Amino acid sequence: MKHRMFATVLVALIITLSTGLGQAQERTDQGYYTLRDERDRVITMTGRELDPGDHYIAGDNRLFEVTGIEGDTVTVRYLETIELPAITADFLGAQVSKSDETSGVVGIYHTHNAESYVPSSGTESKDDGRGDILKVGQALAAGMEDMGLTVYWSDNSHIPHDGQAYMRSRRTATELLQKKPDTLLDLHRDATPPEIYETEIEGVPTTKVRLVVGRQNQNREANLEYAKRIKAVADDMYPGLVEGIFDARGNYNQDLGPKMILMEFGAHTTSLEQAEQAAEYFAKVIPAAAGLTTSTQGAAESQIGGGANRALVWMIVVVAVVVVGFLLVSQGKIGSLTAFFRREAGLGRDNDHEDDHK
pTM of the model: 0.80
In terms of Cα–Cα distance, which of 1, 7, 3, 73 is closest to 347? 7
pLDDT tens digit sequence for 309-318: 444 444 444 4
Rg (CA), the chain: 20
What digits encode the pLDDT tens for the residues 205-239? 999 999 999 998 889 999 999 999 999 999 999 99
E-state strands within 182-313: 183-190, 198-201, 204-207, 209-214, 242-248, 260-267
Neighbours of 190 (CB within 10 A): 28
The verdict on whether omega for the bond into residue 193 sits within 30 degrees of 0, i.e. cis, is no
| pLDDT (tens digit per residue) in 247-299 | 999 999 999 999 999 999 999 999 999 999 999 999 999 999 999 987 676 66
Domain spans of the chain, in order of start:
98-306
| pLDDT value at 75 more than 60 | yes
CA distances from 293 to 97, 128, 261, 266 (A): 9, 38, 19, 27
Q: Decide if pLDDT at 323 tops 60.
A: no
How far, in whole angstroms, is CA 329 from its chain's centroid? Answer: 35
Q: Is the pLDDT of residue 20 over 60?
A: no
Terminal Cα-to-Cα distance of the chain (whole angstroms):
9
DSSP of 83-135, one letter per residue? -PPPPPTTTTTPPP-GGG----EEEEE-TTTTB--HHHHS-SB-TTS--THHH
For the domain with range 98-306, which CATH number is right: 2.60.40.10, 1.20.1630.10, 3.40.630.30, 3.40.630.40? 3.40.630.40
Q: What would the mean pLDDT of 297-311 be, rounded to a whole number? A: 62
